[in-house]
């Protein structure tokens, strides 16, 4: 039997996925004259054929999108689509690195929602990580709000934080479906739901794309599909706990792309807040791995007791 690939391949795939997703966000930001809802339509609709082509090539198309939880997919799709739309809108008012940093608060919010909705214990380490993440968010957003709650930057901060909260809620719904629904089904129904919901924004003023708009819109859809494939493939080669820290490569690319493409110079305030938020996420990942090992050890002890 051929040896199984080690986690290094999964790590490389995860870093590639994060790079592609950051580039996708840059495409969304570049299409500044296109409304967020319209951008969301292209992102969702054009990702579907890419994912289907991948499923066909890997032999996962037959029965891959079969589901018995339409309600679960609906809730996940609505939450995820709202997160996407708010995130795209936030990119129009804030620099790319700042939006990226604020979106990293999602794992922290997941801890809070998991305690409220799934009954998971709110342990001391998790509580400390939540406080650390909230301090980081405060450091980043305080300059935006002190300038006035009616400013475009303040609106961008609110939209981005709303996006992070809805993304956390979407992950809670995914977690509730884990083990019962395939990754292909989750990706497919989310993309279809987001594409349909984006059409509700038509009355708010879609525009006909022109010139480079077509490149940005088509590109963000194709990149979104490729990024989803890379992300899914990464989990085949390494555990989520191993891969999670490497999602923060997004911050590096956001700073580089923001500076080179959009002339956005990151402030020390933003970098300091981002460091706290990322640290909070790493603490959560570390603690989840510790708890996972403890649970596994307990199960082994119980199993030996029945031998």
Predicted confidence pLDDT, tens digits, the chain (307 residues):
344 456 888 889 989 999 999 999 999 999 999 999 999 999 999 988 888 888 787 776 666 677 777 888 888 889 999 999 999 999 999 999 999 999 999 888 888 887 777 777 767 787 888 899 999 999 999 888 887 777 889 999 999 999 999 998 988 887 777 667 777 777 788 888 999 999 999 998 899 999 999 999 999 999 998 988 888 788 778 777 678 788 889 999 999 999 999 999 988 999 999 999 999 888 888 777 776 654 444 433 333 333 3
Alpha-helix runs per DSSP H in 199-267:
212-234, 240-243, 249-262
> Domain segments of the chain: what residues?
8-305
pTM of the model: 0.85
CB atoms within 10 A of CB 207: 11
Sole residue written with tokens 């690939």 = 5
Structural contact between residues 26 and 15, judged by C-beta atoms closer than 8 angstroms: no
């Amino acid at each position: 039997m051929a040896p199984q690939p080690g986690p290094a391949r999964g790590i490389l795939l995860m870093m590639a996925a994060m790079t592609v997703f950051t580039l996708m966000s840059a495409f969304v930001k570049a299409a500044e004259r296109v409304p967020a809802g319209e951008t969301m339509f292209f992102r969702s609709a054009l990702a579907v054929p890419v994912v289907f082509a991948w499923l066909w090539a890997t032999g996962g198309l037959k029965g891959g999108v079969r589901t018995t939880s339409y309600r679960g997919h609906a809730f996940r799709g609505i939450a995820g689509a709202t997160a996407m739309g708010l995130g795209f809108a936030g990119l129009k008012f804030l620099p790319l690195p700042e939006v990226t940093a604020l979106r990293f608060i999602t794992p922290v919010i997941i801890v809070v929602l998991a305690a409220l909705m799934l009954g998971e214990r709110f342990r001391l380490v998790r509580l400390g990580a939540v406080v650390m993440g909230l301090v980081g968010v405060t450091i980043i957003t305080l300059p935006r709000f002190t300038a006035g709650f009616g400013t475009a930057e303040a609106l961008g901060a609110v939209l981005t934080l709303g996006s992070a909260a809805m993304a956390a809620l979407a992950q809670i719904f995914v977690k509730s479906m884990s083990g019962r629904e395939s990754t292909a089904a989750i990706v497919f129904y989310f993309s279809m739901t987001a594409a349909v919901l984006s059409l509700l924004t038509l009355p708010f003023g879609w525009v006909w794309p022109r010139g480079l708009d077509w490149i940005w819109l088509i590109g963000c859809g194709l990149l979104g599909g490729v990024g989803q494939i890379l992300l899914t493939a990464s989990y085949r080669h390494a555990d989520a706990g191993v891969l999670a820290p490497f999602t923060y490569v997004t911050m590096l690319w956001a700073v580089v792309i923001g500076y080179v493409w959009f002339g956005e110079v990151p402030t020390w305030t933003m970098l300091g807040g981002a460091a706290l938020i990322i640290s909070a996420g790493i603490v959560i990942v570390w603690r989840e791995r510790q708890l996972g090992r403890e649970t596994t050890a307990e199960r082994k002890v119980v199993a030996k007791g029945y031998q």
